[in-house]
Amino acid sequence: MPRIMGIDIPGRKRLEYSLRYIYGVGPHRSLEIIEKLKLDPAMKADDLNPDQVAAITTLLQEDYTVEGDLRRETQANIRRLISIGSYRGNRHRRSLPVRGQRTKTNARTRKGGKRTIGAVRGKEARSAAKAALKK
């Protein structure tokens, strides 16, 4: 397992796929890196020699914002939106969908699990209520 930018990338996968395990490197950027360094995208990540690993690391550090720097930048952008009181910032603050999705149904990932509103009855209370309805 080669280690790039502090991340262990899977060694048995093709290089174009294993580079995607680095935060901020997607399909297009992965192929771009491979093309710049003139590597074979079909080669396995385990087949990289230390010089190639070093070349990938320096290219990522110099030309791209990835991993910790990218995470910090994203969080700073969200904090800025919250501090200026924008609509998007308020949606972030309330943990609601930011990009216009519906919230009457769905949005469970952002909102969390369902919260029951009203009294939750036990079995005895339910059977007593049914008996009262039958009379």
**Per-residue pLDDT for the chain (135 aa), expressed as one digit of tens each?**
889 988 899 989 999 999 999 999 999 999 999 999 999 989 999 999 999 999 999 999 999 999 999 999 999 999 999 999 999 999 999 999 999 999 988 888 888 888 888 777 777 777 877 788 776
In sequence order, the 6+-apart residues with CB closer than 8 A to the CB of 112 are 95
Q: Which residues form the domain of 74?
A: 68-111
Measured between its terminal Cα atoms, the distance across the chain in Å is 73
- Are the CB atoms for 68 and 7 separated by under 8 Å? no
Query: Do 17 and 54 fall into the same domain?
Result: yes
Query: Do 14 and 57 fall into the same domain?
Result: yes
- CATH code of 44's domain: 1.10.8.50
Judged by DSSP in three states, 14 sits in strand
- Are the CB atoms for 60 and 4 separated by under 8 Å? yes
